[in-house]
Amino acid sequence: MEEGLKKVEKVVLVSALVLVLIGIVEIFVGYHTNSVGLIADGTDSISDSVVSFMVWFGFRISRRKADKKFNFGYYRVETLVSMIVAMLMIAMSIYIFYNAYLRLRSPVELHYPIAAIITLTFGGLISLYLAIIKNRLSEKYNLLSLKADAKVSTKDWTSSFVILAGVLLSYFGFKWGDAIGALIVSFYIVFVAITTIRQASLVLVDGFNNPELVRYISLIIGKHPAVKLKEMKLRMTGPYITGEVTLNVNSELTIGKVHAMKNKIKEDIMKRVSGIKDLTILAEPELL
């Protein structure tokens, strides 16, 4: 897992640098083509690069060892970063909405629309590639802040193509198309941000909502004879899952057999469920 996090850090850092370059190019071209949509997309890309830099910083901090102040490590820094990321996204959407609204009230003709179309196409394709990589890594390593960053990249490429559609409308004579594309993007950003805040809030207050995982672990335990699941408590700690499982065991089993069974169950669960950092197995004699 630690090696995986280092790989993720590199991907996020490279993504941040690429997004900065895309944003600068889009703002430059947007300024010269008079496209509020392209400027909004460039601003969006630079804001997304800030998000990626924050996620990268969060990973760096979360890998610190536990100390006297943070006894359980710094893993939840990663979750906190995802929350900050979402709030930045909302602020960014307000800025984009305001500028798009002003342009919608006073639409203007675009200069050099072909340049805007080419820039948006290339920017969207690059963002699409980054989103695919981040989504794969976020699913593999169960990283909430990376999932937030992957959503940002997904939003980035879809935004580029929505604004591209608006620019095409403007190119064919519908001057309001550019502004409409920017407005749609602003609403989409808010939707993604709210979803991320809900997920991060659940983690920060020790909530855990993954019934499929609970069911899967219950099935693993059920394959072991002479034990019954009494209680399962799971929580997210940054990118990791920790928890406590209480089992009812046959009262006739010796202490040695119970100990061996607990170790075997823990080994099976941690082998089959990726992302579990620590799992405590408790055993109580079954009441007849």
pLDDT in tens, 230-282: 899 888 776 677 889 999 888 777 888 888 889 899 988 888 876 677 889 99
Q: How far is CA 83 from the centre of its chain?
A: 10
Same domain, 36 and 150: yes
| pLDDT for res 288 | 45
Residue 197: give its domain's CATH number.
Answer: 1.20.1510.10
Q: Across the strands, what pairs with 243?
A: 234, 279
Last residue of a domain, one of 186, 204, 222: 204
Query: What's the pLDDT at 28?
Result: 93
Per-residue tens of pLDDT for the chain, all 288 residues = 556 667 888 888 999 899 999 989 998 998 888 888 888 788 878 877 877 887 787 677 766 777 777 766 677 776 777 788 788 878 878 887 887 888 788 887 788 889 999 999 999 999 899 989 988 887 777 666 677 778 878 878 888 888 888 889 888 888 888 888 878 878 877 887 787 788 778 777 777 777 888 888 899 888 887 788 889 988 877 667 788 999 988 877 788 888 888 989 998 888 887 667 788 999 888 754
Residue 91 pLDDT: 86
User: Same domain, yes or no, for 142 and 188?
Assistant: yes
- The predicted structure's pLDDT at residue 144: 60
Q: Which of 177, 204, 231 is the last residue of a domain?
A: 204
Tokens of 8: 């993720």
Say if residue 42 is in the same domain as residue 60. Answer: yes
Residues 198 and 281 reside in one and the same domain: no
Residues 44 and 144 in one domain: yes
Same domain, residue pair 38 and 164: yes
Looking at the structure, tell me whether residues 157 and 225 fall in a common domain.
no
Say whether both 265 and 157 belong to one domain.
Answer: no
Same domain for 36 and 148: yes
The tokens describing 161, both together, are: 């193509």
Give the pLDDT confidence score for residue 125 in this predicted structure. 94
Confidence (pLDDT) at 154 = 84
Query: How many structural domains compose the chain?
Result: 2
- So what's the pLDDT on residue 62? 65
How far CA 173 is from CA of 11, 109, 169, in Å, comes to: 41, 8, 6
Q: Characterise 4 by phi-psi region: left (phi > 0), alpha (psi -120 to 50), beta (else).
A: alpha
Do 133 and 231 lie in one domain? The reply is no
Q: pTM of the entire structure?
A: 0.64
Q: Could you say which of 174, 204, 234 is where a domain stops?
A: 204
Same-domain check for residues 76 and 142 = yes
Task: State the pLDDT at residue 118.
Answer: 93
Q: What residues contact residue 10 under an 8 Å CB cut-off, 6+ apart?
A: none
Q: Nearest-CA neighbor of 83 among 195, 159, 239?
A: 195
| Full residue range of the structural domain in which residue 176 is found | 2-204
Identify whether residues 236 and 191 lie together within a single domain: no
What pairs with residue 241 in β-bridges?
236, 276
